[in-house]
Amino acid sequence: MKSAIITGITGQDGAYLAELLLEKGYEVYGTYRRTSSVNFWRIEELGISQHPNLKLVEYDLTDLASSIRLLQTANASEVYNLAAQSFVGVSFDQPITTAQITGVGPLNLLEAIRIVDPKIRFYQASTSEMFGKVQAVPQAEDTPFYPRSPYGVAKLYAHWITVNYRESYDIFGCSGILFNHESPLRGREFVTRKITDAVAKIKLGKLDCLELGNLDPKRDWGFAKEYVEGMWRMLQADEPDTYVLATNRMETVRDFVRMAFKAAEIEVEFSGAEDTEVAKDVATGKTVMRVNPRFYRPAEVDLLIGNPEKAAAKLGWKPETSLEQLCKMMVDADIVRNRMNASF
Ligand code: NDP
Ligand code: GDR
């Protein structure tokens, strides 16, 4: 039986990847952090938390000794490093913690691989945030990087150290430059889920108005479940490499707001500009969304759209779910959860 380690199993991608690897017959070591109240709601919702081939291991990415012990215990042939302080907004308030976890953390795992077994295959969760300020459209593997947040800068270190270990020590290190990917399991601090959760609450009469920051940024949003399949394919390839996963379609945050309300059968109309922009329910005239500058970031990434041709050609990977389908799936899931007063 093949064995794999997934760091960050309590996160969105960790949960979907665990589901995929268990389906493929792997033994999965999923890591979670020691906190006062660990939350396994995602793997519970997927129905895999009690799976006999899933082992949950306490682990912190910033600790080299525990990285070595993790590899020794699991005897895994593949390591998927999904753990990170992954919220861009928070990285401006906690830049040092972000650098330690998101930037240097992966180096602990690479060093542990070098010490324990250099044949272990390693996946690093890199990000379109490394492209940051637009240098080319659409962005591909060879587009120059220009990160715009402490998170993006930290991820860039992790990306290059993965490439460096590949070239220096022949470690099978893959870097997946993934554009935004969402799902009903997305954390509520990220904009798509913040929107779909609020739309569900407004639909059910539990909330009057959603507050957002900048509505102009354009993002390339895909479905997370499809993106974890791409991660797995990268580690099955003959050679380690760097790949972009994206849909090659972009929309603004404002477009996603409109789409989410539409999925709940509420038509909205936008008016006002920048700080005073609002969206009103056409049927009732009520304001259901307003801009609050509190959510603006010190530096913004205006436009991300990826070119996934290399992943299509070399891995046979292709996104299938449209943004409209994804958005509807998220709104529907949030309506069900809010009806049950679920807290996640
Ligand atoms: P989440 O924020 O949902 O999950 C992050 C995971 O990392 C959580 O399980 C979290 O644990 C864990 N973690 C945080 N700090 C540590 C630490 N010090 N030691 C061990 N574990 C830690 O992220 P996603 O699932 O959305 O993303 C997965 C990875 O992919 C991340 O690295 C992210 O930066 C990257 N990425 C994500 C994209 C996306 O659109 N989703 C796009 C491109 C890259 P806890 O629950 O305890 O906080
Ligand atoms: P991002 O995702 O920064 O792209 O990082 P997020 O959903 O947080 O923001 C997307 C865009 O929406 C704008 N925005 C808001 N964002 C949030 N969170 N809350 C708001 O109220 C709000 N209003 C407007 C943001 O300014 C931004 O432009 C995600 C994370 O998953 C990273 O870990 C990952 O690397 C990248 O995607 C690719």
Question: What local confidence, expressed as pLDDT, does residue 3 receive?
Answer: 98
The first and second tokens of residue 65, run together, are: 């000794």
Read off the pLDDT of residues 172-182 as tens digits, 9 standing for 90 and up.
999 999 999 99
Same-domain pairing of 99 and 179 = yes
The total of structural domains in the chain comes to 2
Same-domain pairing of 146 and 277 = no
Same-domain pairing of 25 and 159 = yes
Read off the pLDDT of residues 20-78 as tens digits, 9 standing for 90 and up.
999 999 999 999 999 888 899 999 999 999 999 999 999 999 999 999 999 999 999 99
In a domain, 344, yes or no: no
Cα 100 to averaged position of ligand 1 atoms, centre (Å): 14
Nearest CA to ligand 1 atom 27: 13
Question: What local confidence, expressed as pLDDT, does residue 233 receive?
Answer: 99
Read off the pLDDT of residues 245-295 as tens digits, 9 standing for 90 and up.
999 999 999 999 999 999 999 999 999 999 999 999 999 999 999 999 999
In this structure, the strands spanning 268-271 and 278-281 are antiparallel
Question: What local confidence, expressed as pLDDT, does residue 35 receive?
Answer: 87
Enumerate residues lining ligand 2, CB below 6 A. 86, 88-89, 127-129, 179-180, 189-191, 194, 212-214, 217, 219, 253, 295, 297, 300-301
Mark whether 127 is an active-site residue. Answer: yes
Peptide bond into 217 cis (omega under 30): no
Read off the pLDDT of residues 307-330 as tens digits, 9 standing for 90 and up.
999 999 999 999 999 999 999 999
CATH number of 260's domain: 3.90.25.10
The first and second tokens of residue 84, run together, are: 């990170």
Question: What local confidence, expressed as pLDDT, does residue 343 receive?
Answer: 81
Q: Is residue 11 pLDDT above 90, yes or no?
A: yes
303 contacts 171 by C-beta, under 8 angstroms? no
Same-domain pairing of 34 and 178 = yes
In this structure, the strands spanning 242-245 and 251-252 are unpaired
Identify which ligand lies nearest to the alpha carbon of 70. 1
Same-domain pairing of 242 and 139 = yes
Same-domain pairing of 110 and 85 = yes
Question: What local confidence, expressed as pLDDT, does residue 36 receive?
Answer: 83
Q: What is the mean pLDDT of the chain?
A: 98
Q: Is residue 235 pLDDT above 90, yes or no?
A: yes
pLDDT band, residue 228 (cuts 50/70/90): very high
Mean pLDDT, residues 148-169: 98
Same-domain pairing of 177 and 199 = no
Q: Which residues of 250-273 are buried (b: 16+ CB within 10 A; e: fewer)?
A: bbbbbbbbbbbbbbbebebeeeee
Residue to probe by mutation, ligand 2, list 87, 98, 180, most atoms within 8 Å of CB = 180
- Ligand 1 touching residue 33 (CB < 6 A): yes
Question: What local confidence, expressed as pLDDT, does residue 101 receive?
Answer: 98
- Give residue 291's domain range: 191-216+252-300+327-339
Mark whether 129 is an active-site residue. Answer: yes
H/E element holding 163?
Answer: helix 150-169
Mean pLDDT, residues 86-108: 98
Mean pLDDT, residues 79-100: 98
Read off the pLDDT of residues 210-223 as tens digits, 9 standing for 90 and up.
999 999 999 999 99
Same-domain pairing of 102 and 170 = yes
Question: What local confidence, expressed as pLDDT, does residue 344 receive?
Answer: 86
Nearest CA to ligand 1 atom 2: 86
Q: Which of 151, 165, 227, 243 is catalytic?
A: 151
